[in-house]
Amino acid sequence: LQMLTYILSFLPLSDQKEASLVSRAWYCAAQNALREVSLGLRGISCISLTNLDGSPTSQQVLQSVAYHLGLHLQSLCLGGGSPTEASFVALILGCPALHTLVLSGCNSLFISGMLFTQPEMAQNVRQALSGLCELNLAGLRDLGDLSFNQLCSCVPNLEHLSLAYSHPTFQLGAA
């Protein structure tokens, strides 16, 4: 179904309607393709994606959000999920209009301590998050001071920060 949806998304509307008459699976794929286009055209500005994990399905959801909604997205909540660092960075780079980012409970992003450590990636993220005003890091148990500093250095216009119920750890001797 996903492959059919992808293929049909390249066809004009009249051909998608014609393809939907082939079978039930093609009908569902055509409807999915139309739905994806209509979501992107609506300009949705706020979305909440909870309990995402590192699975291929979750990664595909994040890619679709970045591709279809990213340009208009102003508020993004990934609360309680555990997306991979790579899929998170790709999502952030696809959402340049973000004003609010909620990462409460997204411990997996901070476990390695390597989030935004590459200078080129940090610069790209800094550019994408230049309009971010509100950052919610509540309920993080694996938030280290280095990860926190790296993340905050990528958010130059931050006005509101929430660290409620977070347990930051400090590394001695870190520069």
pLDDT digits (tens, 9 = 90+) for 2-24: 677 777 777 777 777 787 888 88
In a domain, 167, yes or no: no
Statement: residue 39 has pLDDT above 60: no
Find the CATH number of the domain harbouring 134: 3.80.10.10
In a domain, 35, yes or no: yes
Q: What is the pLDDT of residue 33?
A: 66
Domain coverage including residue 14: 1-42
Residue-averaged pLDDT of the chain: 85
pTM of the model: 0.75
The answer to whether residues 56 and 142 belong to one domain is: yes
The answer to whether residues 18 and 89 belong to one domain is: no
Q: What proportion of the chain, given as a percentage, has pLDDT over 70?
A: 90
The answer to whether residues 58 and 21 belong to one domain is: no
The answer to whether residues 72 and 156 belong to one domain is: yes
The answer to whether residues 72 and 134 belong to one domain is: yes
Q: What is the pLDDT of residues 75-112, one digit of tens each?
A: 999 988 889 999 999 999 999 999 999 999 998 888 88
The answer to whether residues 13 and 34 belong to one domain is: yes
Distance CA 52, CA 40 (A): 21
Q: In what order do the strands lie in the sheet with 46-48?
A: 46-48, 75-77, 100-102, 134-136, 160-162
The total domain count for the chain is 2
In a domain, 86, yes or no: yes
Q: What is the pLDDT of residue 114?
A: 85
Q: What is the pLDDT of residues 106-129, one digit of tens each?
A: 988 888 888 888 999 999 999 999
The answer to whether residues 59 and 86 belong to one domain is: yes
Statement: residue 66 has pLDDT above 80: yes
The answer to whether residues 102 and 28 belong to one domain is: no
Which contacts qualify for 113-120: CB closer than 8 Å, 24 or more apart?
113/144, 113/146, 113/147, 114/85, 115/85, 115/88, 115/147, 115/150, 115/151, 116/89, 116/150, 116/151, 116/153, 116/154, 117/150
